[in-house]
Amino acid sequence: MSERKTDRLRIERVEPSAVYAALAGLVNNGYTRKKYSPTTFTCHLERYQYLSPSGEKIAVVYDTVAKILSADASPEALAALAPMLPSSAPKQETAKKADKQDAPDVPRISTRERMPIAPREQIPRLAGTTAPAIAAAQRNTEQPAAQPAPAPKKRGRKKTVKTENVLTIEGIGNSRFDWVVKDLKGAGDTRVRKDKTAENGFVVVRGKDQLVLSMSQDGTVTVRGKASPLFNDVRERLETRSNLRLLKKYVPTALRYLSESSRIDLSNGITDLENVGRLSDYSVLLTAPYRALEKLIYDLQQAENINVKMIGQAYEKDDEGRYSLKKGYIRRIGSVVYAEVMAALYSEYYATRNFYTHSDNSADSRSRGIADKAEAQKKLRNLLAVIEYNGKKLSEIGFKVADEQ
């Protein structure tokens, strides 16, 4: 049975407000959102998966930095989807140039030329006529000055008042709530501060949008704020769940070391690669799983107080190109197994993730994409095996992380 062809629709220069309005319109037109992966402190891509009214799967990705919106689906599904997506904004320079070309050349006319004054008629001065009478007669013969047209009355704009939305979700654990707050803090365009009016509450601000996020002692999370893309983003982060049943199949031991964000990225990666149709490049579906590996390495570093801005700064490379923790960390921590695990995880991350997400600038470089779906699945299975094997090694020495679940 042959796989269905999948095409890609790419739209550049799309503002976030236009994207979120279009995605809200999809739901109103019968499309069902199945998955959502928000931006993180290491990735600026927002990923969505929709089901069309006819049952077609549609993958939507929005690059929040480059402002590029792309959609992958069958040609028929894209044809129906395209009219509901925003169009590219015009380039600023081109728009300015067009304005100059369209404007007609209007010669400058002086005030004297625009409003010629008729010559005064000679009024004979009669005997006995006083000077004021002559002046009055002259004024009567002059053409009256043009009166300026009254300025049009400005109509006041009706202000749209957004009502406050209140979202309540029960059964959210402390670890998940802390992950959502930490993930929001890591987003470059979002500011999070403590809410003084709530014991476990935070004020979240993004641009002009603002909301209050809080959790009660019984695990009930409340989100208060006006309808906005920020409100939708926080709701999606709270409602998105990892597929624990699927993860227990592939990484049963290492699961305890995976944060909620790593679990979501891994389970989404497994599911997406399994269900996707035909693509020209399957390497894009490895981004989320290797983002999960990056977060795992970061969490393991934090567990041993290795505080670096980028995970690679904790490593050094020998003459043969092999990576290992810096000697100062190895001496301080004093665990050979931990050092071996960290070297193995980062070597996998550097060799595979960096290869497919960076270009080769040499003259004879070839494409670094993956045209074969089976090859991408093989890469993912190898990644899962590396995570599980090293998770077992950590488990054997009783290693724990602060947020172990």
| Whether domain 7-84 has CATH 2.60.40 | no
Question: Does position 104 have pLDDT exceeding 60, yes or no?
Answer: no
103 band by pLDDT with thresholds 50, 70 and 90: very low
134 band by pLDDT with thresholds 50, 70 and 90: very low
3-state class (DSSP) for residue 68 = strand
Torsion angles phi and psi, residue 243, rounded to 5: -90, 90
Question: Does position 178 have pLDDT exceeding 80, yes or no?
Answer: yes
Distances, alpha carbon 226 to alpha carbons 25, 132, 184, 193, in Å: 18, 72, 18, 18
Q: Compute the mean pLDDT over every residue in the chain, rounded to the nearest whole number.
A: 80
Query: What's the mean pLDDT in 393-405?
Result: 81
Sequence-ordered list of residues with C-beta below 8 angstroms from that of 173, at least 6 positions apart, any chain: 219
What is the rounded end-to-end Cα distance, in angstroms, of the chain?
42
Distance of CA 239 to the CA centre of its chain: 18
DSSP 144: P
The predicted pLDDT at position 132 comes to 53
Question: Pick the residue with more confidence: 153 or 37?
Answer: 37
| Range of weakest confidence among 101-110, 278-287, 290-299, 389-398 | 101-110
Question: Pick the residue with more confidence: 293 or 365?
Answer: 293
Whole-prediction pTM: 0.52
pLDDT per residue as tens digits for the range 253-306: 999 999 888 998 899 899 988 888 888 888 888 988 999 999 999 999 999 999
The predicted pLDDT at position 217 comes to 85
Question: Does position 330 have pLDDT exceeding 90, yes or no?
Answer: yes
What is the DSSP annotation of 227-276? SSHHHHHHHHHHH----HHHHHHH-TTGGGG--HHHHHHHHHHHHHHHH-
Q: Are 239 and 256 in contact (CB under 8 A)?
A: no
Maximum mean pLDDT: which of 5-19, 203-217, 353-367: 203-217
The predicted pLDDT at position 110 comes to 43
| Range of weakest confidence among 1-10, 189-198, 283-292, 381-390 | 1-10
| Whether domain 164-239 has CATH 3.40.50.2030 | no
pLDDT per residue as tens digits for the range 186-243: 676 889 999 988 788 999 999 999 999 999 888 889 999 998 889 988 988 887 777 8
Cβ atoms within 10 Å of 284's Cβ, excluding its own: 23
The predicted pLDDT at position 150 comes to 63
Question: Does position 314 have pLDDT exceeding 80, yes or no?
Answer: yes
pLDDT per residue as tens digits for the range 80-98: 999 999 988 766 544 444 4
Q: Give long-range contacts, CB 8 A cutoff, 24+ apart: 109-115.
A: 115/146
Question: Does position 46 have pLDDT exceeding 70, yes or no?
Answer: yes
The predicted pLDDT at position 201 comes to 93
CA distance 298 to 323: 16
| Three-state secondary structure string covering 158-223 | CCCCCCEEEEEECCCCHHHHHHHHHHHHHCCCCEEEECCCCCCEEEEEECCEEEEEEECCCCCEEE
Query: What's the mean pLDDT in 313-317?
Result: 95
3-state class (DSSP) for residue 128 = coil
70 band by pLDDT with thresholds 50, 70 and 90: very high
Question: Pick the residue with more confidence: 243 or 346?
Answer: 346
The predicted pLDDT at position 148 comes to 62
